[in-house]
Structure 1
Amino acid sequence: MSRPISDIRIEYKRHSLSENDVQPNPIRQFDQWWSEAISSQIDEVNAMTLATASSDGLPAARIVLLKGYDDAGFVFFTNYQSFKGQQLDENPRACLVFFWKELERQVRITGLIEKVSTEESDLYFSSRPESSRIGAWASPQSQVIEDRAILEKNEAELTKAFAGKPIPRPLHWGGYRVKPVNIEFWQGRPSRLHDRISYTLQENGQWQIARLAP
């Protein structure tokens, strides 16, 4: 007999998180946790859940990859005509969630959306493997297609068309930046009494730090 879902649990006890020890700026705190996650050799450490919502409130979430961050925000790339792109046009707000189970840590970033510059999108697109650049042209992301053969046909035709030539970035493909207004750092603790430290951006540009009950 399979194990009941309700019996699946882990006792978190690796680390603790105190508001007295965190950095005054959440990006610097993210720097610290990011470095520790990289050092822990976590598989796809940059994988994050991206949650969006349509103008009517319909939510959607999926895994995307972080491709850069700095004081301005957190950057990912996608097809602007995809379902998430449509939602971000209608409602330019998003939430990102990192879960690093090896460290028993979660980071949740809520913020406003803006497209990155054309130059930034071009630079990242040119760094992608050739197959990924062709894939950005070949896939009408989120649209209904009859079968996989359509994608394979598109890929074959585009591979031939671009042979020996530079592959330009499609205008419908590029980057978004999530400009944070709230960042929460979650550290698993025993007895489900987890540590949660929240940073909220104030009108004066400063960050207010608070502990949240788990």
Structure 2
Amino acid sequence: MTALRDAEKTIGNLIDKQKTAYVGSADADGFPNVKAMFSPRKREGIRAFYFTTNTSSLRAAQYRENPKACIYFCDKRFFRGVMLKGTMQVLEDAESKAMIWQEGDDRYYPEGVADPDYCVLKFTAMAGRYYSNFHSEDFIV
């Protein structure tokens, strides 16, 4: 019997309980770069995830150059985790920015939702790997 009878529910529950997401990109030389970020502001199942970041950030520049990406969520208490691989888009349109804006974000983006240094990272998953109870399982999203 597979551990992922309902992958979207199992993985979605794990993700929703985490405060941190580990986001991977590739640098100009093709080496992986990983960064801890706040959990996504919005998710659509286990396929689309929306994060906030600075337009001027290294990560945004890397995704513009090479959109291949991964995100990882870890439940340290139960030693479970999920890695999703896919692509990351850098969105700067007003609708995307307003969609995930939250009260208090002006602390990071002083000009508000229209701050030119505020953008949205949209991750779209294609596949993943889930680890739990000494077992890993690949899945397609």
The higher radius of gyration belongs to 1
SS of the counterpart of 1:87?
Answer: helix
Runs of 5+ unmatched residues, structure 1: 1-17, 24-28, 138-161, 189-193, 201-206, 208-214
1:121 aligned partner:
97
Superposed displacement of residue 112, structure 1: 0.9
1:68 equivalent in alignment to 2:38: no
Q: Deviations over 1:97-136 (max 9, x none)?
A: 11101122101011011234531212322x231xx31422
Query: Given the superposition, is the C-alpha separation of residues 36 and 197 from structure 1 closer, same or farther in structure 2, using an over 3 Å criterion?
Result: same
TM-score, normalised via structure 2 length: 0.82
Q: Deviations over 1:13-65 (max 9, x none)?
A: xxxxx427522xxxxx2433443676xxx5xx131111111232133211112
1:148 aligned partner:
none
Q: Deviations over 1:78-108 (max 9, x none)?
A: 0121111111111111111111011221010
Runs of 5+ unmatched residues, structure 2: none
Whichever residue aligns with residue 35 of structure 1, its letter is N
Count of matched residue pairs: 138
1:19 aligned partner:
2
Partner of residue 52 from structure 1, selected from 18, 22, 25: 25
1:198 aligned partner:
138
94-103 or 169-178, which moves further after superposition? 169-178
CA RMSD of aligned residues (A): 2.4
2:9 aligned partner:
31
Superposed displacement of residue 184, structure 1: 1.1
Could you tell me whether the CA contact under 8 Å between 1:51 and 1:95 is conserved in 2?
A: yes
Whichever residue aligns with residue 49 of structure 1, its letter is Y
Determine which structure has the larger helix proportion and give its number.
1
1:183 aligned partner:
128
The percentage of aligned residue pairs carrying the same residue is 15
2: distance between equivalents of 1:103 and 1:37? 13
Query: Given the superposition, is the C-alpha separation of residues 21 and 60 from structure 1 closer, same or farther in structure 2, using an over 3 Å criterion?
Result: closer
Could you tell me whether the CA contact under 8 Å between 2:23 and 2:34 is conserved in 1?
A: yes
2: distance between equivalents of 1:37 and 1:97? 9
1:159 aligned partner:
none
Query: Given the superposition, is the C-alpha separation of residues 98 and 168 from structure 1 closer, same or farther in structure 2, using an over 3 Å criterion?
Result: closer
Could you tell me whether the CA contact under 8 Å between 1:37 and 1:103 is conserved in 2?
A: no
Could you tell me whether the CA contact under 8 Å between 1:133 and 1:169 is conserved in 2?
A: no
